[in-house]
Amino acid sequence: MPQPRSVIIGTGSCIPSLEVPNQAFADHTFFEDHGRPYPAGDTARIVAKFQEITDIAERRYAPADLVASDLAFEAGKQALAAAGIDPETLDYLIVAHNFGDVRAGSRSPDQVPTLAARVKARLRIANPFCVAYDLPFGCPGWLQAVIQADYFLRSGEAKRALVIGAETLSRVSDPCDRDSLIYADGAGAVVLEAQDHAEPVGILAHAVRSDTLDHSDLLHMGPSFDPAAEGRDLFIKMKGRKLYEYAIATVPGLVRRSLEKAGLTLADVDKVLIHQANGKMDEAILKRLFRLYGIAEIPAGVMPMTVSWLGNSSVATVPTLLDLVVKGKLEGQTLSRGDVVVFASVGAGMHINSVVYRWT
């Protein structure tokens, strides 16, 4: 018996044009978290060590005249064009982000009206029943928005949804904090459609967890590490080692839970598209996931990566990665009908989510 399935019919992304290599930080003065500067001449060592432990060699920043909603608009426009649908037929337009529109030279978040409302207006969608709202959920926000859209579509309440993740982390990171080298800007989007299929395709299952009791402060906002910094601006801060340990310990188990809900095992999976936070961390997560299933050899190319040249753009990493794979822009990476894809993300909250998807 055919039943509604949530199927991706279009993807898009906006990769900012401003390339920022690690060498751009050569003249930075970095401070420890208690306000003491690292010794003069230490910057080169810090930058080299950073690349060694994250795989990040460069990242992208948004030009000064663009904000997150501009990036979201471009990614959404691309996804709609790829889907080949009339934007007026959308029932939902969801934008995942964390900081709203932060203008160049400012630390103030602008979230009124919602970014989704701004994107809907830019797309010239007149349909008043296309509901536009934002979702702040840390780095897993885009995937959580996909999960929400899946509920709407499978319930019969909606037919189509545009789900976007957009962020400009470069504007909320502390230039005096070594962790600022991780952050990047960007946007990615998908159009989801409810389609009747007798076979299990599209979104098969998902799993989510929130560990707030002991882990909510692993990513937080705090003052600059520079004790001479003026004003009361807050910047994104993270407890890197503890976050790494938390992700390694918990993400593989949640991915396994989502696969079990789908009635599948890791042997059925063709691609793992994971949040591009830290290359070495993602590799460790993948190794532990395969270990859970007693699989010693990880198939080549199962986990495409972009973090080395795009950095960590939070909610934008997974949909951008998907768009690049779908459009053949990552060497050796493709998706074919019937392929099983696992999407996974971890971030501030701490939140983790995983979605199992069969490509159509």
- Grouping H, G, I as helix, E, B as strand and the rest as coil, residue 331 is coil
Contact 345, 320 (CB under 8 A): no
Q: Are 25 and 50 in contact (CB under 8 A)?
A: no
CA atoms within 13 A on the CB side of 333: 21
The residues that bridge with 132 in the sheet, in sequence order, are 93
To the query of whether residue 139 is one of the catalytic residues in this protein, the response is: yes
**Residue found under tokens 């949804």:** 161
CB 71 within 8 A of CB 24: no
DSSP at 182: G
Reference 352, options 152, 143, 202; nearest CA is: 143
d(C-alpha 13, C-alpha 288), whole Å: 30
Whether the Cβ atoms of residue 344 and residue 353 lie closer than 8 Å to each other: yes
For residues 165 and 273, what is the distance between their CA atoms, to the nearest angstrom?
15
Chain centre to alpha carbon of residue 81: 22
- Out of 275, 278, 351, 353, which one is annotated catalytic? 275
Contact between 218 and 248 (Cβ < 8 Å):
no
Q: Which of 139, 215, 278, 351 is catalytic?
A: 139
Give yes or no: 97 in active site: no
Annotation marks residue 312 as catalytic: yes
Sheet of 185-197, strand order = 3-14, 185-197, 160-168, 92-96, 131-135
Give per-residue burial for 219-257: e unless 16+ CB within 10 Å, then b. beeeebbbeebeeeeebbbbbbeebbebbeebbbebbbb
Q: What is the token pair recorded at 9?
A: 């019919």
**Residue 31 in contact with residue 42, Cβ under 8 Å?**
no
Q: Which residues are catalytic?
A: 139, 275, 312
